[in-house]
């Protein structure tokens, strides 16, 4: 048996950052390198139908009792572009409390004061980085936990449901479900293993949209610019100042949505602001989009039609309405957690998963914890003990039917 830790450490050695500026699938060819390695590993384990399709999606089956439901487990192979995913240097720390020195040369610490979630992991072994890259627990921990559970099923005589495995590319840029083959996957229901700290079960996620606003200006020599210059950067700042500050992500939590400025660029002639819009409540989600529309309309009335060009597109919707008719799959996960000593906590996802889109495509798919903390940043970490517990949880879901 390969340990979940050994699997995880091997997977994070692959550089699989997705690229939101690419129009290919997968968005970065390097994701296929991990996919090919996973297929070889799965076949060596005895998953004879394991394969990767032309779009970089990896599939496989562990046959089980045909009288039981067919259950899918899904994770994603890419890592977030929010921080570097290249040349990840890992270390396992026996954590006894306090600050963790990640990088002596650069003086990088994970401070207990800044990350109070560390306190609950005293006595565990934390996988950390050197503080210059993300770790990749989101979601290579999910992959490691799924394949560790699959190996348990393959090497024991426990009666279990048929397991369908799916590993997707490009989840971090919102495209993970784009080319997922729901029909051939042929699961009755599934779980994404893509959550955070131990005990989380999630079946509510944000409704999500992306927005880009392009501002057009007019450049004139500043020495003779009076009443003629139209500085697109100043107009862009004016537009942003019209958005409600209390609806920024740094001021929200729980079910509260947000309008988040993700990046900006500009000159006097042209500037661009990009946003993501999120809310669990559809009515509030639509209102947030209307706020941007109203601000753009005001700018155009003030500075001339076409000054602000707003382009907005929905990304995914709250899967709650697709899960509530089959809440028994959430209850099953909660019961399995209790059986392996995990206290279940049903929480809303302040983000999205492949499962949100897949639920709308006919595959009900709530989200389960992986044990990871501080995703998308240089202080990402995960306890070894929690990865092991999550693997046991997946086995329990597949066998206690």
Q: What is the pLDDT of residues 119-155, one digit of tens each?
A: 999 999 999 999 999 999 999 999 999 999 999 999 9
Domains annotated for the chain, with CATH where assigned, are 4-205+318-399 (3.40.630.10), 207-316 (3.30.70.360)
pLDDT band at 315 (very low <50, low <70, confident <90, very high): confident
Checking phi first, is residue 374 left (phi over 0); if not, alpha (psi -120 to 50) or beta? left
Render the burial of 247-275: b for 16+ CB within 10 Å, e for the rest: beeeebeeebbbbeeeeeebebeebebbb
Percent of the chain with pLDDT over 70: 100
List, for residues 161-178, the tens digit of each pLDDT value.
999 999 999 999 889 999
Tell whether the model's pLDDT for residue 353 goes beyond 90.
no
**How much of the chain is in helix, strand and coil states, percent to nearest 5?**
35, 25, 40
At 34, the pLDDT band (50, 70, 90 cuts) reads very high
Q: Which residue has the higher pLDDT, 173 or 312?
A: 312
Cα–chain center distance at 245: 25
Q: What is the DSSP letter of 99?
A: -
The H or E element spanning position 287 is helix 282-303
- Distance, CA of 17 to CA of 122 (rounded, Å): 31
pLDDT value of position 351:
79
Over residues 191-225, the pLDDT tens digits come to 999 999 999 999 999 999 999 999 999 999 999 99
Residue 174 has what pLDDT?
86
Give CA–CA dist 359/326, Å, rounded. 11
CB atoms < 10 A from the CB of 36, how many? 13
For the record, the structure tokens of 390 come out as: 């999550």
pLDDT confidence bin for 350, thresholds 50/70/90: confident
Catalytic sites, residue numbers: 78, 171
- pLDDT tens for each residue of 223-275: 999 999 999 999 999 999 999 999 999 999 989 999 999 999 999 999 999 99
- Give the three-state DSSP class for 280: coil
Q: Is the pLDDT of residue 401 over 80?
A: no
* Averaged confidence pLDDT in the chain: 96
Q: Is the pLDDT of residue 49 over 90?
A: yes
Q: Nearest-CA neighbor of 196 among 130, 103, 96, 121?
A: 121
């Amino acid at each position: 048996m390969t340990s979940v830790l050994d699997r995880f450490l091997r997977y994070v050695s692959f550089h699989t950052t997705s690229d939101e500026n690419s129009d290919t699938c997968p968005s970065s060819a390097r994701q296929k390198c991990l996919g090919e390695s996973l297929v070889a590993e799965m076949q060596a384990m005895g998953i004879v139908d394991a394969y990767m399709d032309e779009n970089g999606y990896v599939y496989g089956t562990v046959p089980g009792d045909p009288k039981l439901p067919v259950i899918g487990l899904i994770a994603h192979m890419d890592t977030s572009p929010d921080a570097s995913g290249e040349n990840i240097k890992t270390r396992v720390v026996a954590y006894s409390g306090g600050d963790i020195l990640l990088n002596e040369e650069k003086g990088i610490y994970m401070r207990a004061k800044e990350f109070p979630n560390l306190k609950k992991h005293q006595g565990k072994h934390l996988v950390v980085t050197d503080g210059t890259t993300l770790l990749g627990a989101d979601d290579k921990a999910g992959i490691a936990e799924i394949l560790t559970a699959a190996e348990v099923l393959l090497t024991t005589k426990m009666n279990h449901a048929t397991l369908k495995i799916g590993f997707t590319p490009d989840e971090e840029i919102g495209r993970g479900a784009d080319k997922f083959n729901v029909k051939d996957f042929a699961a009755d229901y599934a779980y994404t293993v893509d959550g955070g700290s131990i005990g989380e079960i999630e079946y509510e996620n944000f409704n999500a949209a992306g927005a880009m606003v392009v501002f057009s200006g007019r450049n004139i020599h500043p020495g003779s610019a009076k009443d003629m210059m139209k500085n697109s950067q100043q107009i862009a700042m004016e537009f942003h100042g019209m958005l409600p500050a209390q609806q920024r992500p740094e001021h929200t939590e729980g079910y509260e949505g947000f309008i988040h400025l993700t990046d900006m660029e500009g000159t006097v002639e042209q500037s661009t602001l990009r946003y993501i819009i999120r809310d669990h409540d559809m009515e509030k989600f639509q209102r947030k989009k209307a706020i941007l529309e109203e601000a753009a309309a005001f700018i155009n009335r003030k500075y001339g039609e076409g000054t602000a060009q707003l382009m907005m597109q929905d990304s995914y919707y709250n899967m709650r309405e697709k899960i509530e008719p089959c809440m028994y799959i959430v209850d099953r996960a909660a019961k399995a957690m209790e059986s392996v000593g995990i206290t279940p906590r049903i929480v809303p996802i302040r983000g999205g998963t492949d499962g949100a889109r897949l639920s709308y495509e006919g595959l009900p798919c709530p989200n389960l914890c992986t044990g990871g903390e501080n995703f998308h940043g240089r202080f990402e970490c995960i306890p070894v003990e929690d990865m092991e517990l999550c693997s046991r949880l997946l086995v329990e879901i597949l066998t206690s039917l």
